[in-house]
A and B are shown apart, each in its own frame.
Chain A
């Protein structure tokens, strides 16, 4: 049997029933890819120049006030916890600069770092922790000095009807409580475990507190927003998330249990321009907008703590 005959036989015999659909899907995918490639090329070619490190904190409002001056596309990679606040700040910047279009990519900080390291095009990177930003710098993904722009702390959230009857932090160790954390590779997950370890060292919680709580974990979500969703839906009995994750939309569905400062972690969020940013001018303007009083106000309204030490690392 020749190759050709064999080929014809296989084609006849497996009889995929949805072939026209598959062909259409592939054609659509290709067309979409070509359009994307076209966009990328034009945006990239328009404004490629050497990136300069952002100047200190002095020009905060100067750039922001040059209204309407910014054009092109700005790509911002930001930690998932920044979703709402950054969208608001971005919308304001777009309103001030009709020629500017901001594209956000919100995900776990580590995933963003990996994407940058693999050559993803972005102009600004905002991480939920300094370790990840430091890692991105080591990867060579970052231009200039990162600046701390906001801080965050963690809280325990429970569904409003509190199915497991959790009244205090101690109850998290009770058998049968379904606890959802962010994965330990995500900053929020690392902080949650850090907090539980600190609590375990305190005699009032008991030595095996940490282990008992961790035994209650039913899911390690790859994104802190998924922790919120699982608690909000009432599928989990408790979750540990950023205070900023309890947004106005979430607030009605959950009860917040504060974690005392002696156990809590204050997460400092750094922001920086990405190396080879296609639109460094807009990138700098975005960072300035985040650091501006208006930006800081937006962030605190979303549950963040103001940036410590005036915004510089």
Chain B
């Protein structure tokens, strides 16, 4: 950062600070609307935690096998999904950001569609493709693979609905890296792989990380496609959201515990991701 921009940003920060001091939230219609929205988002979460903590026997419910097995399955399946996203999604995101090729538009549509599809549709689509009677069902069956009702089906459902979030985020990250820097590295004698590893990837990290967080969050909350394609079996296909749905039928306490756990895990990862991404971009 040059001296000039440092001065400019200090001045800017000072005037903004003064503006912030004068501003009274809630008095203007703008502030009122904003406050209303923040309340709307915060109140249900507070209510959930409040209710859960006020419930006697809530901690006993947390130790239930149903809760633990669902938590473990969610952690394992989303970890595999994240791995698939990084391994397969990063090259795709890089190509989309850096190269022009025939059919690029089509690829982008294919990437974007799962983002807007209702998850249940994704589940039906997965069944139509990978189910026993699906398009690829016979081929899979011939080599002894039956996907529905397996943990693999849970991962497939998560990959389908969540990896597009990663690809979009990572693509934006790569696009934010100036091409001149890569060229400069190449002039200095760095190979393609070396440039990618030492220059492009570190600079693209904020976008990549935010994409990864969104992808993981979507995978963790996946419900509709999983229920449709993988079914609901404790320890095998019953992830946290499915366990919450099942627990609602039996025991509100267990459902509350699961919900609060999911909320806590999600909050922890969000904070962690911010710390990691933040630590890398600031000098």
Contact = CB atoms under 8 A, between A and B. Distances in A.
A222 B13 contact: no
B89 interface: no
Nearest to B280: A13
Given A111-B248, A185-B246, A219-B232, A15 B131 contact: no
A281 interface: no
Contact of B133 (A13, A17, A233): A233
B245 interface: yes
Interface stretch (B168-176, B187-195, B257-265): B168-176
A111 B249 contact: yes
A219 B237 contact: yes
A73 B258 CA distance: 35
A147 interface: no
Contacts of B168: 17-18
Chain A contact residues (Cβ within 8 angstroms of B): what range? 35 or more
A220 B230 CA distance: 11
B22 interface: no
Interface in A7-48: 8-10, 13-18, 26, 30, 33
A229 to B, nearest CB: 8
Contacts of B131: 233-235
A217 B233 contact: yes
Given A111-B249, A183-B232, A185-B250, A9 B282 contact: yes
A132 to B, nearest CB: 10
A10 B149 contact: no
A221 interface: yes
Contact of A183 (B17, B249, B277, B281): B249
A15 B210 contact: yes
Given A108-B249, A222-B245, A235-B148, 6 more contacts: A16-B210, A114-B249, A180-B231, A218-B231, A220-B232, A230-B231
Interface of A: 2, 4-5, 8-10, 13-18, 26, 30, 33, 108, 110-111, 114, 163, 178, 180, 183, 185-186, 217-222, 226, 230, 233-236
